[in-house]
Amino acid sequence: MPEGDTVLQTATRLHAALAGQVLTRSDLRVPRFATADLTGRTVLDVTARGKHLLTRIEGGLTLHSHLRMDGAWRVFSPDERWRGGPGHQIRAILGNTEHTAVGYRLPVLELLRTDEEDRAVGHLGPDLLGPDWDPGLALDRLLAAPDRPLGEALLDQRNLAGIGNVYKCELCFLARVTPWLPVGALPDGVLPRLVALAERLLHANRDRPTRTTTITSELRTPPNRGLARSTAPDTGHPRPRHRVQERLFVYGRARRPCLRCGTPIRLADQDDRPTYWCPGCQSGPTP
């Protein structure tokens, strides 16, 4: 599933292609809105809110979409062949004289009044990449359920909006705790620094073509102010240096050696999502 930084990049591309332009083509291929015609209206802006996309259109309308696992928006020039999937997977087409935006496999697509956007995104917590970012509120919401596993709490968009499964695994690794550790069991001071690091990582990746979390040496806080130190014993494994091509610490690296301690990375499901962790570096309960 695309995460907050990827969705923001999509919003930026759509905004550049559509904002300020009059729609000359409009086709919403979902039964409820199949007869809606937006041609002749100007696109005002395209905004990301967590993992949601809001395309605001003249006349007080907003086209709300969510990519979930497989959805994608592609932008094409007039003479460019559309790529993104077969025609039957197209759910939306918005075009002007210079660009056409095509939405493939969009599981959520609805047209609503702009003044009713809260009906679609009002449940979200503070957006890590948005102007409403409030680390104190995010922290309060995470701490409201101290018995909840950290990984599940980080993924709950009602707590803070924008973290997906990749960041969940990477942030737990950087905190040196497993995703199954209850939020309330984190050592003192770790959760506020983890929330701050989440915001800094998403901002660091918002303009990158490929996400990375191994840039944390660039983001490191002063000595003794970092995340929790590992309480796991020394495994005796060599501690390999980071390689340039390694962009993530644990996600997608099952059975490969940990970049910090050399222990093979493990994989299990948490709430039906593949979850990666290092048993040498991360302390806490495991499946």
Q: Is 199 a catalytic residue?
A: no
Indicate the residue type of 258: C
C-alpha pair distances (Å), 279 with each of 199, 251, 283: 26, 14, 7
- For residue 77, give every residue at least 6 positions away whose Cβ sits within 8 Å of its Cβ, in sequence order, or none: 98, 99, 100
Q: Is 51 a catalytic residue?
A: yes
Assigned token pair, 20: 């300020």
Which of 146-169 are b and which e, b meaning 16 or more Cβ less than 10 Å from the residue's Cβ?
A: eebbbbbbbbbbebbbbbbbbbbb
Distances (CA, A) of 247 to 3, 58, 242, 250: 16, 41, 9, 9
- Integer Cα distance of 9 and 98 in angstroms: 20
Catalytic residue among 2, 126, 149, 179: 2
Rounded to the nearest 10°, the torsion over CA 166, 170, 172, 178 is: 80
Assess whether 279 carries a catalytic annotation.
Answer: no
CA atoms of 188 and 190, how far apart (whole Å): 6
Active-site residue, from 13, 105, 141, 273: 273
Amino acid type, 4: G
Among residues 49, 51, 91, 168, which one is catalytic? Answer: 51
CA count, 13 A, side-chain hemisphere, 81: 3
CB 225 within 8 A of CB 193: yes
Q: Is there a catalytic annotation at residue 3?
A: yes
Show which residues are catalytic.
2-3, 51, 273
